[in-house]
Amino acid sequence: MTPLRILMFTTFYPPYSFGGDAVGVQRMARALVERGHQVAVVHDEDAYLTLGGKPPAETALDAGDGVSRIGLRAGNGLLSTMLVQQTGRPVLHARRIRQIVDQMQPDITWYNNASLVGGPGIMDYGAGLKLFEAHEHWLVCPSHVLWRYNRELCDGRECLRCVVSFKRPPQLWRYTGLMDRKLEEVDMIVAKSEFSRAKHREFGLKQDMTVLPYFLPDIDHEAVPPFTGHPRPYFLFVGRLEKIKGLQDVFPAMDKVDADLLILGDGDYAAELKRLAAGHPKIKFLGRMSPDELTAYYKGAQGLIVPSVCYETFGIILIESFRLGTPVIARRLGPFPEIVETSGAGLLFETEGELVQAMRSFQSDPGLRDRLSRAARRGFEERWREDVVMAAWGRALARAARRKGDRVLAERLEDGLFEDGIKPQAAQ
């Protein structure tokens, strides 16, 4: 069988990225290449640099992973980014994007976070099967995160005033029906959790969504040595340091437990968090870590704390923790109850008292933590391991191809192109 030609669009892609959804896109692109497919990713370097990203080192530009990375640059990057944000179309990059599509003739066009790489205006480019993967709530929320006025969960549309509170220009194109018209060109829209699918529907998305979660490649978790460089038991926080991640709510609880809190990550809210934690001997800011370093910290932790106060679409750090057999303590919000309860791999909290009780339970009841640890690893193997999720993607795309009337593509997908691809040995 010949490989599939897969063209992806995303605003941010490593090394021109801030993390999060960009890592998920890269992970999917690499998984497809490992299965023998031809994958190109179009991303917007202008958007990354305009939003404060630092130019990556020359050595970071070639990942050597077989993915063709196509970074868009205009003569005036700020103007290009603003035009996309304001019009919902790739004004300065339109000709280049059409050239890429026409040259590659993709079997599958895969839209990810398209907000600044072309907006909804690129969703009718080219032919072939088209899908949109909703890593955020951008389809229904100008600020992407359903976090109203930059201070509270959104429970109803007040978009114009809300966008201004984020210091962003209002997007008048959102009131013209442009998003709905362009989404009608898409054959499958993917939500990352049942919760996110329900939120999209609640906030007005008319199209159906298919739920497909994130995945991670498996590792020999038993061979990973736990981090031993910290003298006391510790709980772990991993992620960008932003107010919406809720880390500030954990600090008061640390006075009531006999353990430390190790914080791995960085972000715009770091200075304020460090001010709030000043003088607290149990709270340690360790900065960003490489993936290899992260695995050791996960393995050695009493548990991972996930205190986000906003509506996440999934929560990749939960399955990073599960892969190492480390249970989680997550806020009872968004997709976290769905992930924790289906796996049985952690505890949920709403109040400070419940958070404290959960941490104390992990420490005082080794049997409980051992059971949760086994459930974490089992849940990862059954639900979020790469081969399991990729097979689900193949089945879902085959159904979408049949609905579109593309019998040839459907049969190729049904033959296992997303499971083993055309070179099964490459996935070993």
Query: Class of the 5-216+386-427 domain?
Result: alpha beta
pLDDT given for residue 422 in this prediction: 62
- Spatial CA neighbour of 239 closest among 265, 262, 214, 261: 265
- Crossing angle of helices 336-343/316-323, nearest 10°? 20
pLDDT given for residue 426 in this prediction: 36
pLDDT given for residue 416 in this prediction: 85
Phi, psi of 336 (to 5 degrees): -65, -45
The whole-model pTM stands at 0.92
Contact 413, 394 (CB under 8 A): yes
pLDDT given for residue 428 in this prediction: 31
Statement: residue 22 has pLDDT above 80: yes
- When pLDDT is cut at 50, 70 and 90, the band that residue 361 belongs to is very high
Taking only the tens place, the pLDDT of each residue in 49-65 is: 999 898 988 878 888 99
Q: What angle do CA 181, 186, 192 make, to 5 degrees?
A: 115
Same fold, 5-216+386-427 and 221-383: yes
The CATH number of domain 221-383 is 3.40.50.360: no
Statement: residue 165 has pLDDT above 90: no
- CA distances from residue 194 to 5, 215, 338 in whole angstroms, order as listed: 29, 16, 8
Contacts within 8 Å (CB) and 24+ apart, 286-293: 286/262, 288/264, 289/264
- Spatial CA neighbour of 189 closest among 207, 215, 213, 214: 207
Tell me what the mean pLDDT of segment 70-76 comes to: 95
Q: Which residues pair with 311 in a beta bridge?
A: none
Tell me what the mean pLDDT of segment 23-39 comes to: 95
Question: Across the chain, what does the average pLDDT equal?
Answer: 93
- When pLDDT is cut at 50, 70 and 90, the band that residue 255 belongs to is very high
Taking only the tens place, the pLDDT of each residue in 227-254 is: 989 999 999 999 999 999 999 999 999 9
Sorted by where each begins, the domain ranges of the chain are 5-216+386-427, 221-383
Query: Amino acid identity, residue 213?
Result: P
Please state, in angstroms and rounded to a whole number, the distance separating the CA atoms of residues 157 and 159. 5
Least confidently predicted of 118-122, 139-143, 244-248, 416-420: 416-420
- When pLDDT is cut at 50, 70 and 90, the band that residue 421 belongs to is low
- CA distances from residue 183 to 124, 196, 348 in whole angstroms, order as listed: 8, 17, 36
Tokens 């362009």 sit on residue:
182
pLDDT given for residue 427 in this prediction: 33
Statement: residue 380 has pLDDT above 50: yes
pLDDT given for residue 1 in this prediction: 66
- CA distances from residue 415 to 1, 20, 102, 394, 422 in whole angstroms, order as listed: 10, 32, 27, 9, 10
pLDDT given for residue 157 in this prediction: 86
